[in-house]
Each structure stands twice: as C-alpha cells, then as structure tokens.
Amino acid sequence: MAVRNLKCRECGTEYPLEALYVCERCFGPLEVDYDHSRLADGGIAELRRRIQAGPQNIWRYADFLPLQGGQPGPSGRLASRVGLPAGCTPLIRADRLAAELGLREVWVKNDAANPTHSFKDRVVSVAAARARELGYQVIACASTGNLANSVAAHGAALGLESYVFIPADLEEQKVLATGVYGTRLVAVKGNYDDVNRLCTELSAEREWAFVNVNLRPYYAEGSKTLAFEIVEQLGWELPDRCVVPIASGSLFTKIAKGFAEWREVGLVDSPDGRLPRMNGAQAAGCSPVASAYAAGHDVCRPVKPDTIAKSLAIGNPADGPYALEEARRSEGGIDSVDDDEVRAGISLLARTTGIFTETAGGVTTAVLAKLARSGSIDPEERVVLVITGEGLKTLDAVRGSFEVHAIEPSVADFEAVAADGLSEAASSAAHVPSALRSSRPGLAQLSTAAAAR
C-alpha cells in the first residue's frame, strides 16, 4: 500500500500508523504520509480506469486513503464490513444560480446526498474503517451535529459501540437523527469548544477511537475524496475556484490537498500550473479564521460562537493556521456573512437549484454571492460550490420565510385568496420550459461500470 507513516506537519517527526494525532516534540498535528511514486507505473490511463471501475463510493479512491488493508469491501454492499457507502454525490451544473450571480459556470457539489446527509460520512467512513483495522470496539466523537449523525449511524452499520458528545443547545433535528441509531448520546452543558476539550481529555482516559481526536489524521483524509470526485466529474479537469465552508478548517485544507495530490500523480493536468483558488466561508457570528485572514494574521484568536450556523460554530479552529496559509497560497480568500445573509443564501440555492441546504450551505452560498457581487470572481471562471449538509437538519432557519395560503377546498376561495401573484407561465397551460444547455458537452460522469456488474 501507498501509506507510509504518520508525520508531524510542523517538524517532520515520523510516527507509526497508530491512533496518534499530536507530535510529542512540538505539539504539531500529525498527518498521513504516502508514497505515490509507483502508483502511475502502468500509465495514467490505466490508473484512471482502475478508479472508474471501483465501487460507487469513496473506496474507489482507496489508493489515496489511509487504510493498510486497502478498500474494506468490493462493492459497498456489505454494511458489517464497509459501513455506510459515502461519496459519489452529484455535481450539478447550476446555470440559473450562475445567471443570478452574473457568472458563467457554477457547479454545486451536493454532499447532502450522503447516507446521513452531510460530508461527514466521508471522514467517518475512513476513521471507522481505520478504527477497525486498529482493533477498536468503540467509536466516539465531539460534534456540532452532522458528525454526531454520522458516527452514530456508522457505529450501527459496522456493529461498533459509539459515544457521541454534543453541545446541549444543538438543533433538535440533529439530536433526533443521532439518538435513533442507538448510540450513547451525551449533551454537554457548554459550546462545541467545551465539548472538544472534554473529548480531548477523555481520549487519554478511554480506549476508544475518537474519530476527530486520536484518529484525526485518518479521519481528515476522507475529505480529500470531495476533490477527487469533483475532478472526476468534471472529466478529469480542475475547477478554477472552490467555495468551501470553514469550521475547524480541516475540510478546506484537505480538499486543496486532494487537488494537489492528483496533480502530483498526474491524474489531472493543470495547463497553467495553477491549482484551484480556495475561498473559505464562515458565519460572522463565528469567524475566527475570516477575521485573522482580514487582519493579515497567521494564527486565529478564538471566539465565543453566536450564529445560527451551528455546524460551523467552532470558536477555536484546529486547522485555522493551515486554512489561512491555503487561502493565501491559492490566491483565494476567506469571508464571512451574517445570519440574515445565511438565510438568504439558503433561499437563493433552493430557488435556483432545487437543493435545500442547512445553515452551513447558506453560509457558503452567501459567500459565493458576496464574491460574485463584489467582482472578486472573473465571470469566465468555473466555480464549484461545496454544499456540505441537508436543509431538513436546520428547519428553524427557514421558518417564517415564506407564506402558506390557507383556503377552503373551493375553486372560488383559491381564486380569491391564493391565485394572485402566479407567474404568467404558471397561469398558462402552454408553457414550455427552455432547456439549459451545458457549454461543455460530453463531461464525463462517474463511471457506472462497477454498478453495472
């Protein structure tokens, strides 16, 4: 396998592939180190074919993921072996969103289409599989909600016990969609950063696999699969820019790492030598990374979160310094939007694409809109908007944002009360929708070869 060892991102000290996450010398984060030098020995076309013939989930990218035994199952069908099949979510061209923003080419990567409706299924799939390789019987996490859903569900699928720690004020939908899987759910009186501190302490006391603490080096690698899928779905091409939400900064930096790894191996060309510009999105009520970016700092000052975007409410972001580095290196940026803009972002995405996202997606969409309106994006760019979670998990954000017309069951009452304001199209029986055509015909979609077997 291509996995070599763990390595400190700060000082380069190497460690064995165990449940370790911190360098004992300098306290820097450990990352998985790979040797990809032989991967393309059979040629790039062969490597691409191998990926395309893989399962319709993240394990098609097993060569780039940190399991020692390779992909955990052949097809993603056996839950007790592979858990829930994460990934291979739709990349949808959003021409009406682009038109509204004055852009030419916007794609939405809809990661709400994962088994527990957020991108967290990618990282948990990897961490849970690695936890099994290391012999753990219990998986656990500190969560702002989406991770809670995913850890509880993966525990159930794999037959592992799980402990899920959440802030006590979490949205009810996320609490219900966690407890149903039979996990041990612990609501901590405090914010996410308090939960995280508690779990960091507990990870030293319990023989558990805390997916985002002692298994964090493996867990974080799962986010690279978002970059891999985007490249594959664009026909082995890079986008010009990605807009991605930032909580801890791990997703943001790992998507960039995914693009860089594939360019290094040769799976994707970059004719102008550029990797995608990375734009980070935060809510103004919890924007330690955006604030540090604006101030020109290279570390983040922690904040006490106060925002409706609870899945992004990390006041003390572990990968903040690396997110800042990546935004500057790629000539992207990091911006924040207030809660009203977040609600407007949810609505904008919903009415132009039919995708209902949670508050985090509202943050990301609102930042894209802000960048477009300020002229920061060249209208000719190909932009990917990364939507990380499902709107049904944060219903309060849209409550009261539209009118429901209550009528008696009669045509007369309908005409009197609700028919006003219908568009000409809706009033006419002869309406024919105009087809929106891609300007890049023939884009390869994910191979269906594996599914067809």
Partner 1 sequence: MPVTVKIPTQLRAAAAGDAEAQLDGDTVQEVLEGLFERYDELRERISDGDGSLRRFVNVYVGGEDIRFLEGLQTPVADGAEVTILPAVAGG
Binding residues for partner 1 (CB under 8 A) = 10, 21-29, 142, 192-194, 196-197, 199-201, 203-204, 210, 212-213, 216, 247-251, 299, 301-302, 304, 314, 316-319, 321
Helices first, then strands: H and E counts in the chain: 17, 13
Give dist(CA 50, CA 279) in Å, integer: 31
Q: 3-class SS at 67?
A: coil
Q: Shortest CA distance to 166 belongs to which of 148, 181, 184, 154?
A: 148
Minimal distance, residue 364 CB to partner 1, in Å = 16
Based on CB atoms, which residue is closest to partner 1, 162 or 191? 191
The residue written with tokens 């991605």 in the block is 244
Based on CB atoms, which residue is closest to partner 1, 98 or 213? 213
Minimal distance, residue 22 CB to partner 1, in Å = 4
Based on CB atoms, which residue is closest to partner 1, 114 or 214? 214
Q: Are strands 333-337 and 277-283 parallel, antiparallel or unpaired?
A: parallel
Backbone CA torsion sign across 265, 270, 276, 277: positive
Give dist(CA 100, CA 365) in Å, integer: 12
- The partner residues of 277 in beta bridges, in order of sequence, read 241
The residue written with tokens 């990349």 in the block is 91
User: Could you tell me if 66 and 17 are in contact, meaning their C-beta atoms sit under 8 angstroms apart?
Assistant: yes
169 backbone φψ class: left, alpha, beta (φ>0; ψ -120 to 50): alpha
User: Could you tell me if 8 and 28 are in contact, meaning their C-beta atoms sit under 8 angstroms apart?
Assistant: yes
Residue 278: phi and psi, rounded to 5, are -110, 115
Based on CB atoms, which residue is closest to partner 1, 206 or 263? 206
Based on CB atoms, which residue is closest to partner 1, 64 or 192? 192
Minimal distance, residue 330 CB to partner 1, in Å = 20
Based on CB atoms, which residue is closest to partner 1, 30 or 157? 30
Minimal distance, residue 425 CB to partner 1, in Å = 45
Minimal distance, residue 242 CB to partner 1, in Å = 18
Minimal distance, residue 57 CB to partner 1, in Å = 23
Minimal distance, residue 253 CB to partner 1, in Å = 10
CB-count burial class (<10 Å; 0-12, 13-18, 19+) for 138: middle
Q: Within 10 Å of residue 66's Cβ, how many Cβ atoms?
A: 27
Based on CB atoms, which residue is closest to partner 1, 248 or 352? 248
Give dist(CA 21, CA 221) in Å, integer: 13
Based on CB atoms, which residue is closest to partner 1, 194 or 413? 194
Based on CB atoms, which residue is closest to partner 1, 215 or 366? 215
- The partner residues of 387 in beta bridges, in order of sequence, read 110
User: What's the full length of the chain, in residues?
Assistant: 453
Minimal distance, residue 299 CB to partner 1, in Å = 5
User: 324 to each of 31, 196, 236, how far by Cα in Å?
Assistant: 18, 22, 27
Minimal distance, residue 251 CB to partner 1, in Å = 8
